[in-house]
């Protein structure tokens, strides 16, 4: 049986999604901004959820119990929300500007949702094309070619038909199966090692997909998170220390944050730290811009605007890279279909020729 803490964390993971948290933060911000006490606002929402039999009322009940024991709002929801949101809310409580900080937290959630939506939309079509290509190859080797072989002896096939037969036979052999499994295994290994592959070789790979796509996605989210926290008056050193703690399982991100932290400890600005790390993170062009902006007054506020703009550009780049992948896969499918059509045409000619003899 789950302990109470484990049960609440499970409820949070299943029902306290980003979209739900954003609605909750906005409602809480509106209530407190209009003069309702924090405890009263939470208790009101808890009762509403309980009447609807919503499992989230258990989270709010636990949060109220923690606050009655002296915990702040951030500590009351610790373990139920991501670390970045916890830090933002904590800064709002400490700075006495909770409504504004809750709105910033909603902006952070919305930014992540935009990136995730862009990824799903951009990669769904390539995934469909890859599946179709695989299905075509399997149908070719298991059904099309064997049926054609019943009509004309494969040893007499010429031109495109002979090439088609060779491909189909190879796919059906152990070597062909090993090659297909190796390609699928290589793709799976590449995707699963994206958070763990580090070092100078990874820096070079980050210029090519899928590593460049991973850098773009996580770099955009990282920059926006950093900018949001700085706008909420969280010290840069505190932000990076918390990020180091929360990214221990992501060696790629950990390597970059450690390098940035080390450069900042030498007294460098954020732009200089990003440049001297040599990782081109989040992006080489962006680092060059930050080198200039970091020397200007009001950089923390300016960084938030830059991060929002970069997030929108990042979504466009994700779509662009996936369009290139879509085009390449579409060409491969068309080439395969054309090969089949030419092979069938060649067989018809050979069959017609043999019948006239």
- Domain boundary among the residues 81, 107, 134 is at 81
Q: Within this chain, do residues 54 and 136 fall inside the same structural domain, yes or no?
A: no
- The answer to whether residue 37 is domain-embedded is yes
Model confidence at 356: pLDDT above 60: no
Task: Look at the chain and report how many structural domains it folds into.
Answer: 2
The pair of structure tokens assigned to 300 is 């923390």
Compute the distance between CA of residue 128 and CA of residue 200 in angstroms, rounded to an integer.
Answer: 34
pLDDT tens, position by position, 180-199? 788 888 888 888 899 999 99
Among candidate residues 36, 56, 81, the one where a domain is terminated: 81
Residues 64 and 119 in one domain: no
Establish if 152 belongs to a structural domain. yes
Q: Are 180 and 324 in the same domain?
A: yes
Q: Looking at residue 232, what is its pLDDT?
A: 84
CA distances from 119 to 8, 115, 213, 306, 329 (A): 30, 6, 9, 21, 18
**251 shares a domain with 343:** yes
74 and 127 share one domain = no
The pLDDT value recorded for residue 41 is 93
Last residue of a domain, one of 64, 81, 98: 81
**Helix (H, G, I), strand (E, B), or coil: what is residue 78?**
strand
What's the average model confidence in pLDDT over 95-108? 87
Identify which of 137-146, 164-173, 223-232, 325-334 has the greatest average pLDDT: 223-232
| 325 shares a domain with 218 | yes
> Is 334 domain-assigned?
yes
Distance CA 152, CA 166 (A): 15
Does residue 253 sit in the same domain as residue 145? yes
pLDDT digits (tens, 9 = 90+) for 129-159: 778 777 877 787 788 778 777 777 777 777 7
pLDDT of residue 55: 92
Q: Which residue has the tokens 């926290």?
A: 229
Calculate the alpha carbon distances from 65 to 24, 43, 58, 75, 306 in Å. 18, 11, 11, 11, 40
CA dist 276 and 210 (Å) reads: 25
Please report the pLDDT score of residue 302 as a whole number: 86
Number of H-type helices and E-type strands within the chain: 17, 0
Q: At what angle do helices 251-265 and 236-246 cross, to 10 degrees?
A: 150
- Cβ-proximal residues to 290 (8 Å cutoff; 6+ apart), any chain: 270, 271, 274, 275, 303, 306
Burial (CB < 10 A; 0-12, 13-18, 19+), residue 173, is exposed
Position 74 in a domain: yes
Tell whether 302 and 191 lie within a shared domain: yes
Taking the CA atoms of 52, 61, 86 and 243 in sequence, report the sign of the dihedral they define: negative
pLDDT tens sequence across 222-281: 998 898 888 888 888 888 988 888 788 899 999 999 999 999 999 998 999 999 998 999
Same domain, residue pair 142 and 38: no
Q: What is the pLDDT of residue 274?
A: 93
pLDDT at 354 over 70: no
β-strand partners of 81:
78
Mean pLDDT (the chain, rounded): 85
Between 4-8, 23-27, 35-39, 57-61, the lowest mean confidence (pLDDT) is in: 4-8
Residues 6+ apart with CB under 8 A from 24: 16, 45
| pTM confidence score | 0.79
92 assigned to some structural domain: no
Q: Are 26 and 167 in a shared domain? A: no
Residue 118 pLDDT = 80
Identify whether 107 is part of a domain: no
Helix (H), strand (E) at residue 283: none
Structural domain contains residue 97? no
Does residue 91 lie in a domain region?
no
Residue 161 has pLDDT above 90, yes or no: no
For residues 27 and 168, state if they share a domain: no
Q: In the predicted model, what is the mean pLDDT of residues 16-23?
A: 93
Q: Are residues 68 and 171 in the same domain?
A: no
Which residues have C-beta within 8 Å of that of residue 345, sequence separation ≥ 6?
A: 160
CA 239 to chain CA centroid, Å, is: 21
pLDDT of residue 251: 93
Tell me the residue range of the domain where 39 lies.
4-81
Distances (CA, A) of 251 to 46, 198, 247, 263, 318: 39, 7, 8, 18, 23
């Amino acid at each position: 049986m789950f302990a109470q803490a484990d049960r609440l964390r499970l409820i949070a993971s299943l029902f306290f999604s980003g979209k739900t948290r954003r609605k909750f933060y906005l409602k809480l911000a509106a209530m407190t901004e209009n003069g309702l006490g924090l405890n009263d606002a939470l208790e009101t929402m808890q009762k509403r959820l309980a009447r609807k039999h919503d499992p989230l009322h258990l989270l709010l009940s636990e949060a109220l119990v923690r606050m009655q024991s002296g915990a702040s709002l951030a500590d009351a929801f610790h373990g139920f929300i991501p670390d970045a949101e916890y830090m933002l809310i904590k800064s709002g409580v400490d700075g006495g500007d909770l409504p504004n900080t809750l709105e910033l937290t909603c902006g952070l959630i919305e930014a992540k949702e935009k990136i995730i939506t862009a990824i799903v939309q951009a990669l769904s079509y390539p995934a469909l094309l890859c599946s179709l290509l695989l299905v075509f190859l399997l149908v070719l080797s298991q059904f099309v070619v064997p049926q054609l072989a019943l009509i004309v002896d494969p040893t007499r096939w010429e031109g495109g038909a002979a090439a088609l037969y060779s491909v189909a036979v190879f796919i059906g052999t152990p070597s062909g199966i090993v090659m297909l499994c190796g390609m699928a295994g290589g793709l799976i290994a590449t995707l699963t090692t994206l958070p763990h592959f580090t070092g100078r070789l990874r820096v070079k790979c980050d210029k090519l997909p899928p590593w460049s796509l991973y850098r773009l996605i996580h770099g955009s989210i990282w920059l926006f998170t950093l900018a949001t926290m700085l706008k909420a008056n969280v010290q840069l050193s505190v932000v990076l220390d918390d990020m180091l703690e929360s990214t221990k399982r992501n060696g790629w991100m950990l390597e970059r944050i450690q390098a940035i932290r080390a450069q900042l400890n030498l007294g460098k600005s954020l732009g200089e730290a990003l440049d001297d790390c040599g990782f081109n993170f989040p992006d080489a062009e962006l680092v060059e811009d930050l080198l200039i902006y970091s020397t200007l007054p009001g950089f923390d506020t300016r960084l938030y605007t830059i991060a929002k703009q970069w997030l929108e550009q990042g979504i466009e780049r994700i779509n662009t890279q996936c369009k290139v992948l879509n085009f390449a896969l579409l060409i491969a499918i068309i080439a395969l279909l054309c090969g089949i059509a030419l092979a069938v045409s060649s067989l018809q000619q050979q069959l017609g020729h043999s019948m006239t003899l």
